[in-house]
C-alpha cells in the first residue's frame, strides 16, 4: 500500500500517456485548393495510435508530391513500449532496476520528442499546413516520459541518499559524454528529401536528396553545391511545382538558398569553430581517460568546446533568414522538402552534461580549486610576456583599411599591413580609381587635384605611405622585442616598462600618421581593429611588467582590474555618445565619415530662434512638453492623497487588494495601454461610445482617439491611470514610518480622524512629497516619448508631440532626413537645461531642508 | 522607515471606540471611491480578455461589453500561427532572461566592488559611474553610438548595453554597506579571494535586493519596444511588444496577415474568423499574460524595492 502511495504517480502518468494515444493528436482538414477528390481521402482527426500504425493512416500516396514523406510511426511505438517497461520497473523495482527504468524513460522521452519534432516539422511545411495541425495530445507521451524519469530519479535519490559515484566513474562518464558529443558531429543535421516528381529527372533528385552533418559542413563539402549554383544546375532543376511554391514561401526566401545552406559570409569562422570544437572534444576525451592529468584540464577543454560547438551549431542552424534555430528549419520545412534533426542540440546537451560530470569528478576527488600550473613567482611575468607577444602579433596583422571612392559611390577597399616589407596588395578595378563622370571627364582632375589617379600612381602613393608608416611600425616592433627580451632575462623591469610605453607612443604616432598621409582625394585610411587593439594591450603589458617580480598583484590594482570591464561599459555606452554632440556643429549627412562633413558652427542653435519655421515648431513642441508635464506636476499630490485616504481604510485585506490592483497598470507597457484605449474607446464598438450613447451624452459615436480635443487632459488621464497606485506606494511606506504614538497622543487630546490626517499624516508626508516634486521639476523636459508615441496619429500630432518625440520624428522615423544635426542640437540644449534644473532643485532643497536630493 | 510593513495601520489597534455618524459616512464614501478606482484599473484587462474569447462576429458589432458570449479560444490558436509571432516570443523571452541576468549580475558585482575602500582611485570611478544617471547624450548621439559599435540589427543590443545601471549600483552598494563587515572579514581570513567572498558570502545575503532588481529589470525588458523600433531597421529580432505596437499602427500589414491566417484556417465560420481587431486584442492579451502570471507572486518585492529606493531618496 505504501508503495502505491509513493510510486502510484508513475502508474497515473503511464495511464495518462496511454489514454493520450487515443486522443486526437493531429487534425487533418483539407484546403479547398486541393480539390474535392483529394478532400474525400482525409479523415478529420487522427490519434497517435492510428499514426503509430504507420503510413497507412495518411493517404499520402494519393498526393504525388508528398509521396516521399511519411510519419515515423515507429518512433512513437518504440517510445510507448519503452515507457511501459520503464513505468513497470519504476513501480515495482529497486536497485539497478530503477536505474534501468530511468534510462528507459529518458530514452522513451527522446523517441517521443523525435516523433513530436517530426510531426511539427511536417505540419510546419507549406503543403502540410494546408491539412495538418498538431494538437496537444501529440506531446503528452513526451511530457509523461519526462515526468516519469524525474519521478524515478527522485525515488533513486531518496532511497540512496544521493548518487555515490567514484571519481573514476565520473571521469569515465565525462569521457562517454564527450565521445557521444563527438559522434553527434557526424550525425545528420539536415535531411533534404526532394521528391522525384518536382525535379526534371530522377537522377537530379538523387543528387539533391541528402543529409548534412556538422562535420561535412565544416569541411566545406557544401562548396560543391555552390559550384552547382554557378553552373545554373539548380535553376534548371527547380521547375514546375517549386516555382508555384516559391510564391507561397514569400519573405524573399530564396528556395535555392535551402540547397546551398552554408554560403553565408560568417562561414569561414564557423568552419573553424566546428573543427576547433571537434579537436577540443577529442582532447577532452583523451585527457579525461588519463587519471594522472589534473581534472581541471578536461573540464576547461570541455567548456571551451562547448562554446565553440554551441556557437557553430547555433550559427549553422540559423543559416537563412531567421537568424535563429527555427530559421533554417522553417525554410526547409516550409517546402515540405526536408527536416532538421535534433542531433546537434542533443550534442550540445550531452556536452553540458559532460562538463557537469567533470565538475562532479573534481568535487568527488575533493581536489582544491584550480591549481595554477605556473609557479607563483613568475606568474605576473608570464602575463606581461603573453600580453607583449599578443601586441607583437597584432602589430604584424593588417593595420589599416583603405577606401578608394568617388563621391556618392563608395568604394574599393583593401587592407594593408604596415610593416614595410609587404607590397601593397589591392585589387581595384581601374575605373574605380579614375572614374569618369557621364560626360567622360575625369571627375577628380576637375577638382583641381594634380594627382593623376591611375592605378600605378595610386599604387606608388600607397607604397610611399607604407614605407613611411613601416618605419614607425618597425620601431614599435623593435621596442616590443627589447621589452620581451628584458622580461625574459629577469633583468631591470623598468627597462621593459619603458620599452612597452615607448612602443605605445610610437603606435599612436602611426595612428596619427595614417589619417594625415592619405591624400583626401583618393579616399581615406582607417586604422583597423588591430591597431586599436594593440594600444590597450601594450598598456597592460607595461602594467603587468611593473609587478613582474611580485608573487601577487597588490589588492588595490586587483580590484581595479575587476572594475575595469564595468568602466569600459560605462565609457562605451554613456560617455562615448557624448562624442556625438559634435554632430550639432556640422551639417551632418548620414553615412559619410566625419572628415567629409561640413562644419557649420552654431548654425543649428541659431536656427532654432532665427528660422521662423523651426521656431514655430520648437515653440509648439515646447508648449506641449510644458503643458503635459505641467498637468502632471500640478496633480503630483494625487498619489499622496490616495495614500492618505487608503490608509484610513481599516480592513487590511481590502487595502491590500486595492494596492495590488492599482499598482498593476504600472507594469504594463504603453503599447499595451494603447491597446486598452483602442478597445475601450473604439469608435463604434467600444464601451465608451456605447455607454455615452446609452445615456444620451452624445448623439453619434465619436472618434475619441483621433480627436485633438483635450488631448493633454487625455494624456494626463492615462498617465494617472498608470501611475497613481504606484506613486502611492512610496507614500504608504512613509506613512508606515510615522510614529504611532503621535496618533495616540492626538486621540487622547480629542483629535478626530480629519484632524489626525490633516495635522499628523500630511505633515509626515510632506518631505517625501517635496523630494519627488523637486525631482519631477528637474525632469520637466524629459517626459519620455513612449506614451506620446503610441497615442500619436496624423490628426493629433500637432498637439501631442513632446520634445523627445519630436526629435525622434524628425530623425530616425523619417527616412533620408538631413535634420540629424538639428536634433542633436536640441538634445544638447535639453540635457543642459535638465542638468541645470536638477542642480537648482538640489540647491533649493539644500537651502530649505538642509538635505540633498541627489 | 524601511523596516515597517506598509500594511501596518495606525487604526488597527483601537476598536472599541464607537464610530460617529460622520465617520460612517466618510468610511462608506472612502470605500466606494477606492472600489471605483480599483475597478477602473482592472476593467480594461477584463474587457480585453472577454473580447478575445467571445464570438468574433459579436465583437465586431460591438455586442460584447460586460459579459463574454460565444466563448471560444480559436483566436489564441490562430494568433500563434501568425508568421513571426513565435520568433518574437522567443526573442522577448530571451532578452528578458538574458538581459535580466546580465544587468542584475553586473550591478550586484559592481555594487560589491564599489564598497571596497582599498581599490585604486575608488571614489573617482564610483563618481564617474553615478554621474551618468544625471545626464544623457540625447537620442541621436545614443543611436549613432550604437550604430557605430555595430549594435544595429543585433540581438545583443537588448542585453549588453544594460550592464551598468547606476541606480541599481547605488541600491546594491547601500545594501551591502549595511551588512556586518565581520562576515566578510572572516571569509577573507579563511583565504577567500574577492570573487569567492562575493559568490559565497555576499550573494546569499543580498538576495532580497537582487530579487527586486530582477523584477524591475525583467518587467522593463519585457515591456520595452521603442528600442526595437529604432535599432532593428531591417526587421530582425522583433519582440512581442513591438509587434503589438506595429499591429496597432499598420492596419494594412495586419489585414494582410489576417488574410494569410485565414487561408489556412478551417472554415469560413464567422464566429471564429479572425478580424484585424481580434488579432490586435489577442496579441495584446498574449503580451499581458506573463505579467499577470508573475505579478501576484512578486508584488511584495515591488513594495520592498521602492522602499529601499525611498530610503535613499
A414-427 confidence digits (pLDDT tens): 555 555 434 344 43
State how far residue B133 is from chain A, nearest Cα, in angstroms.
Answer: 9
What is the reported pLDDT for A224?
A: 45
CA A596 to chain centroid: 33
Query: Is the CATH number of domain A1-163 1.10.1410?
Result: no
Select the residue from B69, B137, B173, B228 to test the A interface by mutation, using most A Cβ atoms within 10 A.
B137
Set of chain B residues whose Cβ sits within 8 Å of the Cβ of A29: 266
Contact A577 B142 (CB under 8 A): yes
Set of chain B residues whose Cβ sits within 8 Å of the Cβ of A838: 134
The grid coordinates listed for A353 are 552534461
Contact B164 A573 (CB under 8 A): yes
Q: Which residue has the higher pLDDT, A772 or A223?
A: A772
Per residue in A333-381, pLDDT (tens digit) is 555 555 666 677 778 888 888 888 888 888 777 655 555 666 777 788 8
Set of chain A residues whose Cβ sits within 8 Å of the Cβ of B66: 687
End-to-end CA distance of chain A: 67
Q: Which residue has the higher pLDDT, A136 or B10?
A: A136
The residue whose grid cell reads 603573453 is A386
Which DSSP state fits A412? E
Select the residue from A133, A688, A693, A736 to test the B interface by mutation, using most B Cβ atoms within 10 A.
A736
In angstroms, the CA A263 to CA A249 distance is 20
A51 φ/ψ sector (left φ>0, alpha ψ -120 to 50, else beta): alpha
Contact B6 A853 (CB under 8 A): no
- Rounded to 10 degrees, the C-alpha dihedral A727/A729/A734/A739 comes to 140
Closest residue in A to B244 (Cα–Cα): A671
In Å, what is the CA distance from A2 to each residue of A7, B55, B179? Answer: 8, 50, 48
Residues 211-270 of A with CB under 8 A from B: 251
Contact A685 B14 (CB under 8 A): no
Paired sense of beta strands A409-416 and A523-527, if any: unpaired
Poorest-pLDDT segment among A127-131, A485-489, A603-607, B160-164:
A127-131
Q: What percent of chain A has pLDDT over 70?
A: 68
- From the list A280, A231, A286, A290, the residue with the least C-alpha distance to A256 is A231
Closest residue in B to A659 (Cα–Cα): B38
In angstroms, the CA A518 to CA A93 distance is 81
In angstroms, the CA A802 to CA B160 distance is 29
Q: Which residue has the higher pLDDT, A231 or A819?
A: A819
Task: Quote the Cα angle for B8-B10-B16, to 5°.
Answer: 115
Set of chain A residues whose Cβ sits within 8 Å of the Cβ of B296: 660
What number is the average pLDDT over the span A395-420? Answer: 57
- Kindly list the strands in the beta sheet with A523-527, ordered across the sheet, starting from the edge strand earlier in the chain: A409-416, A400-406, A523-527
Contact B42 A555 (CB under 8 A): no
The residue whose grid cell reads 510593513 is B5
What is the reported pLDDT for A567?
A: 94
Contact A562 B8 (CB under 8 A): no
Cβ atoms of residues A528 and A400 within 8 Å:
yes
CA atoms within 13 A of residue B14's CA, in its CB half-sphere? 12
**Cβ neighbour number for residue A68 with a 10 Å cutoff:** 16
Q: Could you tell me the pLDDT band of residue A539, with boundaries at 50, 70 and 90?
A: very high
Q: Could you tell me the pLDDT band of residue A105, with boundaries at 50, 70 and 90?
A: confident
In chain B, beta strands by DSSP E? none
What is the reported pLDDT for A160?
A: 66
End-to-end CA distance of chain B: 12
What is the reported pLDDT for A426?
A: 42
Query: What is the C-alpha R_g of chain B?
Result: 25
Say if residue A319's pLDDT is above 60.
no
Cβ atoms of residues A820 and B142 within 8 Å:
no
Q: What percent of chain A has pLDDT over 90?
A: 7
- Crossing angle (nearest 10°) for helices A296-317 and A167-184: 20
CA atoms within 13 A of residue A828's CA, in its CB half-sphere? 19
Task: State the burial class of residue B28 (Cβ atoms within 10 Å of its Cβ: 0-12, 13-18, 19+).
Answer: exposed
Contact A771 B223 (CB under 8 A): no
The residue whose grid cell reads 600550473 is A373
Buried b (16+ CB within 10 A) or exposed e, B165-193: bbebbbbbbbbbeeeeeeebeebeeeebe
- From the list A624, A611, A597, the residue with the least C-alpha distance to A788 is A624
A669 vs B: CB within 8 A: yes
State how far residue B215 is from chain A, nearest Cα, in angstroms.
Answer: 10
Closest residue in B to A838 (Cα–Cα): B134
Per residue in A576-619, pLDDT (tens digit) is 999 888 888 888 777 666 666 778 888 888 888 888 888 888 89
How many CB contacts within 8 angstroms connect chain A with chain B?
295
In angstroms, the CA A240 to CA B138 distance is 55
State how far residue B30 is from chain A, nearest Cα, in angstroms.
Answer: 7
A130 vs B: CB within 8 A: yes
Q: Could you tell me the pLDDT band of residue B59, with boundaries at 50, 70 and 90?
A: confident
Set of chain A residues whose Cβ sits within 8 Å of the Cβ of B153: none
Say if residue A438's pLDDT is above 60.
no
What number is the average pLDDT over the span A80-104? Answer: 85
ipTM of this predicted complex?
0.87
Say if residue A803's pLDDT is above 80.
yes
The grid coordinates listed for B159 are 542585453
What number is the average pLDDT over the span B199-216? Answer: 86
Say if residue A444's pLDDT is above 50.
no
In angstroms, the CA B105 to CA B103 distance is 6
Select the residue from B10, B61, B134 to test the A interface by mutation, using most A Cβ atoms within 10 A.
B10
Q: Could you tell me the pLDDT band of residue A260, with boundaries at 50, 70 and 90?
A: very low
Poorest-pLDDT segment among A386-395, A789-798, B263-272:
B263-272
The grid coordinates listed for A259 are 540547397
State how far residue A664 is from chain B, nearest Cα, in angstroms.
Answer: 8
Say if residue A774's pLDDT is above 60.
yes
What is the reported pLDDT for B106?
A: 95
Per residue in B145-174, pLDDT (tens digit) is 998 888 888 888 999 999 999 988 988 998
Nearest-CB residue to B23 (from A577, A753, A808): A753
Set of chain A residues whose Cβ sits within 8 Å of the Cβ of B90: 324, 326
Q: Could you write out the three-class secondary structure of B215-265?
A: HHHHHHHHHCCHHHHHHCCCCCCCCHHHHHHHHHHCHHHHHHHHHHHHHHC
Set of chain A residues whose Cβ sits within 8 Å of the Cβ of B7: 652, 655-656, 736
What number is the average pLDDT over the span A678-691? Answer: 81
Nearest-CB residue to B140 (from A575, A827, A835): A827
Domain range list for chain B: 21-83+238-312, 85-231
Nearest-CB residue to A830 (from B40, B138, B287): B138
What is the reported pLDDT for B100?
A: 94
Closest residue in A to B116 (Cα–Cα): A559
What is the reported pLDDT for A443?
A: 41
A649 vs B: CB within 8 A: yes
> Which of helix, strand or coil describes residue A793?
coil
Q: Could you tell me the pLDDT band of residue B33, with boundaries at 50, 70 and 90?
A: very high
Q: Which of A120-124, A683-687, B37-41, B57-61 has the highest mean pLDDT?
A: B37-41
Cis-peptide, bond into residue A411, ω within 30° of zero: yes
State how far residue B109 is from chain A, nearest Cα, in angstroms.
Answer: 9
Q: Which residue has the higher pLDDT, B190 or A637?
A: A637
Select the residue from A644, A733, A752 to test the B interface by mutation, using most B Cβ atoms within 10 A.
A733
Nearest-CB residue to A577 (from B14, B87, B145): B145
Say if residue B105's pLDDT is above 90.
yes
Cβ atoms of residues B52 and B75 within 8 Å:
yes
What is the reported pLDDT for A255?
A: 41
CA atoms within 13 A of residue A598's CA, in its CB half-sphere? 6
Q: Could you tell me the pLDDT band of residue A651, with boundaries at 50, 70 and 90?
A: confident
Task: Quote the Cα angle for A666-A669-A673, to 5°.
Answer: 85
Which DSSP state fits A411? E
Q: Which residue has the higher pLDDT, A490 or A453?
A: A490
What number is the average pLDDT over the span B214-219? Answer: 87
Select the residue from B50, B139, B288 to test the A interface by mutation, using most A Cβ atoms within 10 A.
B139
Give every CB contact of residue A112 below 8 A, 6+ residues apart in sequence.
Answer: A75, A76, A79, A83, A139, A141, A142, A145
A759 vs B: CB within 8 A: no
State how far residue B209 is from chain A, nearest Cα, in angstroms.
Answer: 17
Poorest-pLDDT segment among A152-161, A180-189, B11-20, B242-251:
B11-20
Say if residue A442's pLDDT is above 70.
no
Buried b (16+ CB within 10 A) or exposed e, A117-153: bbbbbbbbbbbbbbbbbbbebbbbbbbbbbbbbebbb
> Which of helix, strand or coil describes residue A24?
strand
Select the residue from B2, B69, B118, B141 to test the A interface by mutation, using most A Cβ atoms within 10 A.
B141
Q: Which residue has the higher pLDDT, A654 or A26?
A: A654
What is the reported pLDDT for A720?
A: 92
Say if residue B113's pLDDT is above 60.
yes
Set of chain B residues whose Cβ sits within 8 Å of the Cβ of A324: 87, 90-91
The residue whose grid cell reads 550525425 is A187
Residues in chain B, how many? 313
Cβ atoms of residues A31 and A131 within 8 Å:
yes
In angstroms, the CA B280 to CA B288 distance is 12
Query: How does the average pLDDT of chain A come out, rounded?
Result: 74
Instruction: Report the CATH number of the B85-231 domain.
Output: 1.10.3720.10
Say if residue A41's pLDDT is above 60.
no
In angstroms, the CA A202 to CA B74 distance is 43
Cβ atoms of residues A745 and B13 within 8 Å:
no
The grid coordinates listed for A685 are 464598438
Nearest-CB residue to B87 (from A326, A668, A826): A326
State how far residue B56 is from chain A, nearest Cα, in angstroms.
Answer: 12
Q: Which residue has the higher pLDDT, A529 or A677?
A: A677
In Å, what is the CA distance from A366 to each residue of A295, A361, A362, B237? Answer: 11, 8, 6, 45
Task: State the burial class of residue B293 (Cβ atoms within 10 Å of its Cβ: 0-12, 13-18, 19+).
Answer: exposed
- Rounded to 10 degrees, the C-alpha dihedral A574/A579/A583/A588 comes to -100
What is the reported pLDDT for B108?
A: 94
The grid coordinates listed for A465 are 605611405
Query: Is the CATH number of domain A636-778 1.10.3720.10?
Result: yes
Please, which residues bridge with residue A442 across strands?
A436
Set of chain B residues whose Cβ sits within 8 Å of the Cβ of A725: 37, 41
Secondary element (H or E) of residue A213: strand A210-213
What is the reported pLDDT for B255?
A: 62
In Å, what is the CA distance from B13 to each residue of A6, A236, B9, B222, B242? Answer: 48, 88, 8, 42, 50
Contact A736 B5 (CB under 8 A): yes
**Cβ neighbour number for residue A491 with a 10 Å cutoff:** 11
In angstroms, the CA A775 to CA A807 distance is 23
What is the reported pLDDT for A219?
A: 62
What number is the average pLDDT over the span B86-114? Answer: 91
In angstroms, the CA B184 to CA B198 distance is 9
Set of chain A residues whose Cβ sits within 8 Å of the Cβ of B33: 645
State how far residue B233 is from chain A, nearest Cα, in angstroms.
Answer: 10
What is the reported pLDDT for B261?
A: 55
Contact B6 A669 (CB under 8 A): no
The residue whose grid cell reads 529497486 is A94
% helix, strand, coil for chain B, step of 5: 70, 0, 30
Set of chain B residues whose Cβ sits within 8 Å of the Cβ of A809: none
What is the reported pLDDT for A401?
A: 65
Per residue in A560-586, pLDDT (tens digit) is 999 999 999 999 999 999 988 888 888
Nearest-CB residue to A570 (from B120, B164, B281): B164
Contact A646 B34 (CB under 8 A): yes
A423 vs B: CB within 8 A: no
In angstroms, the CA A400 to CA A507 distance is 13
Amino acid at each position: 500500500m505504501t508503495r502505491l502511495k509513493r510510486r502510484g504517480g508513475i502508474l497515473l502518468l503511464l495511464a495518462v500517456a496511454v489514454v493520450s494515444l487515443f486522443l486526437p493528436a493531429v487534425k487533418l482538414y483539407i484546403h479547398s485548393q486541393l480539390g474535392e477528390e483529394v478532400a474525400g481521402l482525409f479523415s478529420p482527426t487522427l490519434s497517435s495510435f492510428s499514426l503509430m500504425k504507420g503510413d497507412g493512416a495518411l493517404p499520402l500516396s494519393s498526393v504525388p508530391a508528398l509521396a516521399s514523406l511519411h510519419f515515423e510511426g515507429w518512433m512513437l511505438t518504440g517510445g510507448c513500449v519503452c515507457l511501459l517497461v520503464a513505468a513497470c520497473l519504476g513501480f515495482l523495482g529497486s536497485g539497478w532496476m530503477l536505474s534501468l527504468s530511468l534510462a528507459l524513460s529518458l530514452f522513451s522521452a527522446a523517441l517521443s520528442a523525435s516523433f513530436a519534432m517530426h510531426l511539427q516539422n511536417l505540419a510546419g511545411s507549406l503543403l502540410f499546413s494546408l491539412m495538418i495541425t498538431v494538437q496537444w495530445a501529440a506531446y503528452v507521451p513526451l511530457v509523461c516520459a519526462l515526468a516519469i524519469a524525474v519521478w524515478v530519479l527522485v525515488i533513486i535519490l531518496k532511497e540512496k541518499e544521493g548518487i555515490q559515484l567514484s571519481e573514476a566513474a565520473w571521469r569515465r562518464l565525462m569521457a562517454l559524454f564527450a565521445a557521444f558529443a563527438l559522434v553527434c558531429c557526424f550525425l545528420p543535421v539536415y535531411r533534404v528529401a526532394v521528391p522525384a516528381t518536382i525535379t526534371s529527372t530522377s537522377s537530379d533528385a538523387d543528387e539533391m536528396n541528402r543529409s548534412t552533418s556538422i562535420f561535412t559542413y565544416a569541411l566545406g563539402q557544401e562548396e560543391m553545391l555552390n559550384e552547382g549554383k554557378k553552373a545554373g544546375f539548380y535553376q534548371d532543376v527547380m521547375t514546375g511545382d517549386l516555382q508555384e511554391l516559391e510564391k507561397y514561401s514569400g519573405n524573399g526566401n530564396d528556395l535555392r538558398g535551402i540547397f546551398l545552406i552554408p554560403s553565408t559570409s560568417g562561414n569561414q569562422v564557423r568552419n573553424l569553430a566546428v573543427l576547433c570544437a571537434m579537436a577540443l572534444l577529442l582532447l577532452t576525451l583523451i585527457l579525461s581517460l588519463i587519471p594522472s592529468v589534473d581534472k581541471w584540464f578536461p573540464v576547461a577543454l570541455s567548456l571551451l568546446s562547448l562554446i565553440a560547438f554551441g556557437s557553430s551549431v547555433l550559427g549553422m542552424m540559423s543559416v537563412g533568414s531567421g537568424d535563429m534555430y527555427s530559421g533554417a528549419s522553417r525554410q526547409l520545412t516550409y517546402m515540405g522538402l526536408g527536416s532538421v534533426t535534433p542531433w546537434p542540440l542533443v550534442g550540445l546537451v550531452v556536452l553540458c552534461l559532460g562538463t557537469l560530470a567533470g565538475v562532479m569528478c573534481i568535487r568527488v576527488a575533493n581536489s582544491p580549486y584550480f591549481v595554477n600550473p605556473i609557479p607563483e613567482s613568475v606568474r605576473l611575468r608570464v602575463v606581461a610576456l603573453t600580453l607583449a607577444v599578443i601586441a607583437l602579433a597584432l602589430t604584424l596583422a593588417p593595420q589599416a583599411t583603405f577606401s578608394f571612392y568617388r563621391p556618392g559611390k563608395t568604394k574599393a577597399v583593401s587592407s594593408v599591413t604596415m610593416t614595410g616589407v609587404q607590397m601593397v596588395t589591392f585589387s581595384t578595378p581601374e575605373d574605380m580609381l579614375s572614374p569618369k563622370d557621364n560626360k567622360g571627364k575625369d571627375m577628380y582632375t576637375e577638382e583641381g587635384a594634380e594627382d593623376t589617379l591611375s592605378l600605378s600612381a595610386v599604387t606608388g602613393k600607397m607604397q610611399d605611405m607604407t614605407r613611411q608608416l613601416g618605419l614607425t611600425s618597425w620601431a614599435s616592433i623593435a621596442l616590443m622585442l627589447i621589452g620581451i627580451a628584458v622580461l625574459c632575462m629577469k633583468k631591470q623591469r623598468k627597462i621593459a616598462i619603458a620599452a612597452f610605453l615607448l612602443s605605445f607612443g610610437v603606435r599612436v604616432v602611426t595612428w596619427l600618421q595614417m589619417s594625415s598621409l592619405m591624400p583626401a582625394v583618393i579616399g581615406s585610411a582607417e586604422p583597423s581593429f588591430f591597431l586599436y587593439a594593440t594600444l590597450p594591450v601594450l598598456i597592460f603589458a607595461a602594467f603587468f611588467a611593473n609587478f613582474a617580480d611580485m608573487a601577487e598583484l597588490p589588492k588595490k590594482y586587483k580590484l581595479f582590474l575587476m572594475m575595469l570591464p564595468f568602466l569600459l561599459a560605462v565609457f562605451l555606452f554613456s560617455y562615448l555618445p557624448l562624442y556625438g554632440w559634435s554632430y550639432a556643429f556640422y551639417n551632418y549627412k548620414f553615412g559619410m565619415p566625419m572628415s567629409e562633413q561640413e562644419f557649420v558652427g552654431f548654425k543649428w542653435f541659431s536656427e532654432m530662434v532665427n528660422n521662423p519655421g523651426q521656431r514655430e515648431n520648437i515653440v509648439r513642441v515646447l508648449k506641449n512638453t510644458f503643458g503635459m508635464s505641467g498637468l502632471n506636476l500640478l496633480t503630483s499630490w494625487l498619489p499622496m492623497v490616495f495614500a492618505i485616504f487608503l490608509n484610513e481604510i481599516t480592513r487590511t485585506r481590502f487595502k491590500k487588494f486595492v494596492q495590488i490592483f492599482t499598482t498593476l497598470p504600472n507594469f504594463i507597457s504603453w503599447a499595451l495601454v494603447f491597446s486598452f484605449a483602442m478597445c475601450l474607446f473604439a469608435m463604434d464598438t467600444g464601451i465608451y461610445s456605447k455607454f455615452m450613447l446609452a445615456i444620451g451624452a452624445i448623439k453619434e459615436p465619436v472618434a475619441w482617439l483621433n480627436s485633438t480635443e483635450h488631448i493633454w487632459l487625455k494624456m494626463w488621464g492615462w498617465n494617472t491611470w498608470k501611475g497613481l497606485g504606484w506613486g502611492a506606494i512610496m507614500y504608504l511606506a512613509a506613512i508606515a514610518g510615522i510614529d504611532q504614538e503621535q496618533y495616540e497622543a492626538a486621540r487622547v487630546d480629542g483629535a478626530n480622524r480629519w484632524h489626525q490626517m490633516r495635522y499628523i499624516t500630511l505633515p509626515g508626508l510632506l518631505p517625501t512629497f517635496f523630494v519627488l516634486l523637486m525631482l519631477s521639476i528637474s525632469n520637466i523636459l524629459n517626459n519620455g516619448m513612449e506614451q506620446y508615441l503610441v497615442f500619436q496619429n496624423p490628426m493629433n500630432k500637432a498637439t501631442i508631440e513632446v520634445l523627445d518625440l519630436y526629435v525622434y520624428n524628425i530623425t530616425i522615423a523619417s527616412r533620408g532626413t538631413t535634420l540629424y544635426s538639428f536634433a542633436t542640437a536640441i538634445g544638447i540644449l535639453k540635457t543642459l537645461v535638465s542638468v541645470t534644473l536638477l542642480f537648482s532643485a538640489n540647491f533649493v532643497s539644500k537651502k530649505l531642508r538642509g538635505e540633498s536630493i541627489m | 522607515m524601511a523596516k515597517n510593513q506598509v500594511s501596518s495601520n495606525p487604526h488597527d489597534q483601537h476598536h472599541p471606540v464607537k464610530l460617529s455618524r460622520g465617520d460612517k459616512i466618510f468610511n462608506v464614501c472612502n470605500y466606494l471611491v477606492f472600489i471605483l478606482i480599483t475597478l477602473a484599473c482592472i476593467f480594461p484587462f477584463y474587457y480585453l480578455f472577454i473580447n478575445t474569447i467571445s464570438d468574433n462576429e459579436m465583437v465586431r458589432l460591438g455586442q460584447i461589453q460586460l459579459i463574454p458570449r460565444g466563448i471560444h479560444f480559436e483566436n489564441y490558436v490562430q494568433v500563434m500561427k501568425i508568421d513571426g509571432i513565435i520568433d518574437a516570443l522567443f526573442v522577448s523571452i530571451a532578452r528578458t532572461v538574458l538581459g535580466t541576468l546580465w544587468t542584475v549580475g553586473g550591478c550586484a558585482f559592481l555594487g560589491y566592488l564599489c564598497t571596497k575602500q582599498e581599490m585604486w582611485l575608488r571614489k573617482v570611478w564610483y563618481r564617474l559611474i553615478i554621474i551618468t544617471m544625471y545626464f544623457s547624450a540625447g537620442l541621436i548621439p545614443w543611436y549613432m553610438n550604437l550604430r557605430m559599435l555595430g549594435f544595429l540589427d543585433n540581438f545583443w543590443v537588448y542585453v549588453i548595453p544594460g550592464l551598468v545601471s547606476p541606480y541599481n549600483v547605488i541600491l546594491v552598494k547601500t545594501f551591502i554597506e549595511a551588512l556586518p563587515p565581520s562576515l566578510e572579514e572572516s571569509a577573507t581570513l579563511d583565504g577567500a579571494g574577492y570573487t569567492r567572498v562575493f559568490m559565497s558570502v555576499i550573494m546569499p545575503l543580498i538576495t532580497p535586493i537582487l530579487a527586486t532588481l530582477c523584477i524591475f529589470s525583467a518587467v522593463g525588458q519585457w515591456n520595452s519596444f521603442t528600442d526595437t523600433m529604432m535599432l532593428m531597421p531591417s526587421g530582425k529580432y522583433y519582440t512581442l511588444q513591438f509587434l503589438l505596437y506595429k499591429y496597432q499602427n499598420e492596419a494594412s500589414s495586419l489585414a494582410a496577415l489576417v488574410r494569410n491566417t485565414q487561408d489556412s484556417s478551417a472554415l469560413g465560420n464567422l464566429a471564429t474568423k479572425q478580424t484585424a481587431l481580434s488579432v490586435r486584442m489577442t496579441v495584446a492579451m498574449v503580451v499581458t499574460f506573463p505579467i499577470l502570471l508573475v505579478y501576484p507572486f512578486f508584488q511584495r518585492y515591488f513594495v520592498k524595492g521602492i522602499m529601499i529606493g525611498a530610503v535613499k531618496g
